[in-house]
Amino acid sequence: MKLLVTGGAGFIGSNFILYMLKKYPEYQIVNLDALTYAGNLENLKEAEGNSQYQFIKADIADGMAVAKVFDQGIDVVVNFAAESHVDRSILEPDVFVRTNVMGTQVLLDAAKANQVKKFVQVSTDEVYGSLGETGLFTEDTPLASNSPYSASKAGADLLVRAYHETFGLPVNITRCSNNYGPYQFPEKLIPLIVANALEDKSLPVYGDGQNIRDWLYVEDHCSAIDLVIHKGKNGEVYNIGGNNERTNLAIIKTILENLDKSEELITFVKDRPGHDRRYGIDAAKITSELGWQPQYHFESGIKETIEWYLQNKNWWENIRTGEYKDYYTKQYGSA
């Protein structure tokens, strides 16, 4: 089995590659990643030297480069490659459309031409838009994206669906809630708060901090994708979630408590435009049809994650000195 993982140098993709190499030592894994600001080969140090693993630096929107990768014979594609940060999509929507929509279409064409056995599109619960105080997203919830990021992911989802309906491509789409765990780029909430708190920097919180997200440990997301590759019914969408809804403020307070830092670091900043109020996932379908069960409890998972960032300061300190600094200043005022 030869697996093409795109975006494998990012947060979830790298965790997924390490998970699959361990679980299926007989599989070959090709990691295609453009190494944008979010891609980091440091995440994959454990895979270096493994003869089953291969890295190729390429852009998913580059048809020639993608065709060349498929020439080596690919059985399954898992597409993680994306621009993934909502705030950046407000600053630069065009990059999101190029990678997330056009890049996915290039991959779909190559997958179709090479008759792959499965194409898994890793999508997000954000495509469904925002919930009120009650209810959960099911796979039948209409798409109602509110940010350029989620709109570009929804566009990709519809293309994936179309390649199944029109060309019979064996596809699945997964829509997962917020992930947390090791190797998450420090622009995202949990690593941002851990890193800033450790440096006694102010902790920017959008609006009133009461926006709700569902949180899932990254390894539980990986195990769900593994099941979808092997057991997913072609053409189906699977929601993935942790049943762990928390307000952003509650997450921040949990981190501060674990780090023994003061809540005085919290600074409320102007809300993000189009900020979705609540996401909540109904994961009954993947649970009942594919037998998926998350293994991590949020309370222990978050502790482990904080500990990982404490033990791997070099990893995030290196990132925070580069391009990230300019972005942070643009977004929050001062570095």
**Catalytic residue of the set 126, 219, 226, 245:** 126
Enumerate the H helices of 63-147 as residue ranges.
63-70, 86-91, 93-96, 104-113
Which residue pairs from 191-195 have beta carbons closer than 8 angstroms and sit at least 24 positions apart in sequence? 191/309, 191/316, 193/251, 193/252, 193/255, 193/256, 194/255, 194/259, 194/306, 194/309, 194/310, 195/309, 195/316, 195/320
Contact residues for 333 (Cβ-Cβ < 8 A; gap 6+): none
What is d(CA 101, CA 89) in angstroms, rounded to the nearest whole number? 13
Q: Are 216 and 297 in contact (CB under 8 A)?
A: no
125 is catalytic: yes
How far does CA 25 lie from the centroid of its chain?
24
The CA-atom distances, in angstroms, between 223 and each of 42, 71, 216, 219, 250 are 22, 28, 12, 6, 27
**What element of type H or E holds 121?**
strand 118-124
How far does CA 300 lie from the centroid of its chain?
21
**Least distance to ligand NAD, CB of residue 262, Å:** 28
126 is catalytic: yes
Contact residues for 53 (Cβ-Cβ < 8 A; gap 6+): 17, 21, 28, 29, 31, 44, 47
The CA-atom distances, in angstroms, between 124 and each of 72, 121, 167, 204, 290 are 30, 10, 24, 24, 19
Q: Which is nearer to ligand NAD, 197 or 215 (CB)?
A: 215
**Which residues bind to ligand NAD, rule: CB under 6 A?**
6-7, 9-13, 33-36, 38-39, 59-61, 80-84, 99, 103, 122, 124, 153, 176, 178-179, 185
220 is catalytic: no
Q: Which is nearer to ligand NAD, 261 or 277 (CB)?
A: 277
Other beta carbons within 10 angstroms of residue 85's beta carbon come to 19
User: Phi, psi at residue 139, to the nearest 5°?
Assistant: -65, -15
Nearest to 187 by CA among 322, 311, 96: 322
What is d(CA 218, CA 267) in angstroms, rounded to the nearest whole number? 28
Question: Which residues participate in catalysis according to the annotation?
Answer: 125-126, 149
